[in-house]
């Protein structure tokens, strides 16, 4: 059984530490078992279809048994490799098995993984599998503190537990349904939440240009983060900003809108100071 004591602390470029509970052998075994069952069913269907495809190919082209077997195993390789790579790259680091086990793959910096990082870790999967059913990968996981197999080491990735829902947060504004009459006038767009917030200038004056750089760095990277990481990092930065400036996050806006408001007003203050020179 996995233990929540296995925590990973990541220091982000914003100088904020994020804790991730590492996934252990148990949850990763559940994930690979579910994924293997899904792949097994898919391969069984593929094999059945291939029998009919092969018969059709022999009817129209002269194809030897060697070529037929080669083509079949090539398709199987692409299917197995593509299953993990595409699900992880497009599914926020999760395959169906990982969703069942409530774990995900992330980059060791704390952000979500890219297609090429997923591709790398899954190409090395075949080495981890040796000599049978991930024996080498399990040994390597036991030998390093982050429970990384060879594929993780090559791609710079980690497998962590999900302890929060990753349902995307939506703003309070609603959109029209597709059944709304076309003649219905659209409501005037409300100002962005951070533009509706007026923060006290004396508190903002306690913040330095380096604080604005931290915020700008976060804004540049936030779209690459998964929801859990983004929410955790936003909360930590907001807490640090409040501790330094004496500001408090208004009850009617999110932490991220608060940071947007702080950055917006710091920029405005900077422009005013430049104009007064």
Q: Which residues pair with 9 in a beta bridge?
A: 19
Q: Which residues pair with 107 in a beta bridge?
A: 157
Looking at residue 176, its pLDDT comes to 36
On whether residue 187 sits in a domain, the answer given is no
Q: Which of these ranges, 70-84, 136-150, 152-166, 190-204, has the smallest mean pLDDT?
A: 190-204
Q: Which of 161, 178, 208 is the last residue of a domain?
A: 161
pLDDT digits (tens, 9 = 90+) for 60-81: 666 666 777 788 888 888 888 8
On whether residue 138 sits in a domain, the answer given is yes
Same-domain status, 90 and 136: yes
Same-domain status, 240 and 155: no
Looking at residue 41, its pLDDT comes to 94
Q: How many domains does one find in the chain?
A: 2
pLDDT of 188 over the 80 cut: no
Residues 6+ apart with CB under 8 A from 15: 214
Looking at residue 167, its pLDDT comes to 39
Same-domain status, 157 and 212: no
Token output for 121 = 């870790």
Same-domain status, 148 and 38: yes
Average pLDDT over residues 221-250: 86
Taking the C-alpha atoms of residue 85 and residue 178, their distance in angstroms, rounded to an integer, is: 35
Same-domain status, 52 and 117: yes
On whether residue 171 sits in a domain, the answer given is no
pTM score above 0.85: no
On whether residue 166 sits in a domain, the answer given is no
Same-domain status, 97 and 27: yes
On whether residue 107 sits in a domain, the answer given is yes
Q: Which of 135, 161, 187 is the last residue of a domain?
A: 161
Average pLDDT, the chain: 80
Same-domain status, 239 and 120: no
Average pLDDT over residues 253-258: 89
Looking at residue 179, its pLDDT comes to 39
Taking the C-alpha atoms of residue 145 and residue 69, their distance in angstroms, rounded to an integer, is: 42
Same-domain status, 67 and 149: yes
Which residues form the domain of 243? 195-267
Return the percentage of the chain with pLDDT > 90, whole number: 32
Same-domain status, 18 and 76: yes
Same-domain status, 154 and 212: no
Q: Which of 114, 145, 161 is the last residue of a domain?
A: 161
pLDDT of 121 over the 60 cut: yes
Classify strands 157-161 and 103-107 as parallel, antiparallel or unpaired: antiparallel
pLDDT digits (tens, 9 = 90+) for 216-226: 888 877 877 77
- For the ranges 12-16, 88-92, 197-201, the maximum mean pLDDT occurs at 88-92
136-144 long-range contacts (CB < 8 A, ≥24 apart) are 138/25, 141/25
Same-domain status, 155 and 215: no
Taking the C-alpha atoms of residue 156 and residue 150, their distance in angstroms, rounded to an integer, is: 10
Average pLDDT over residues 1-14: 55
On whether residue 174 sits in a domain, the answer given is no
Q: DSSP code of 180? A: S
Q: DSSP code of 172? A: S
Grade residue 157 by pLDDT with cuts at 50, 70 and 90.
very high
Same-domain status, 109 and 23: yes
On whether residue 168 sits in a domain, the answer given is no
């Amino acid at each position: 059984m996995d233990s929540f004591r296995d925590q990973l602390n990541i220091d982000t470029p914003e100088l904020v530490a994020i804790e991730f509970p590492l996934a252990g052998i148990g949850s990763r075994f559940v994930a690979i078992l579910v994924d293997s069952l899904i792949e097994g069913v898919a391969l069984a269907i593929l094999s059945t279809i291939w029998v009919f495809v092969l018969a059709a190919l022999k009817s129209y082209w002269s194809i030897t048994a060697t070529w037929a077997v080669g083509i079949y195993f090539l398709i199987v390789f692409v299917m197995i490799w593509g299953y993990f790579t595409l699900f992880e790259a497009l599914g926020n680091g999760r395959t169906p098995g990982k969703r069942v086990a409530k774990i995900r793959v992330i980059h060791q910096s704390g952000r979500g993984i890219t297609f090429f990082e997923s591709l790398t870790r899954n190409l090395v999967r075949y080495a981890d599998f040796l000599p049978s059913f991930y024996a080498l990968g399990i040994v390597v996981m036991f030998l390093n503190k982050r429970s990384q197999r060879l594929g993780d080491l090559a791609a710079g990735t980690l497998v962590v537990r999900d302890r929060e829902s990753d349902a995307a947060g939506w703003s309070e504004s609603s959109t029209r349904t597709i059944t709304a009459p076309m003649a219905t006038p659209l409501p005037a767009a409300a100002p962005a939440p951070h533009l509706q917030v007026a923060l006290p200038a004396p508190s903002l004056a306690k913040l330095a240009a380096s604080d604005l750089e931290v915020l700008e760095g976060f804004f540049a990277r936030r779209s690459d983060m998964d929801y859990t990481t983004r929410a955790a990092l936003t909360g930590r930065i907001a807490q640090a900003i409040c501790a330094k400036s004496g500001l408090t996050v208004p009850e009617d806006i999110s932490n991220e809108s608060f940071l947007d408001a702080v950055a917006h007003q710091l920029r405005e203050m900077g422009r005013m100071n430049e104009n007064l020179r």
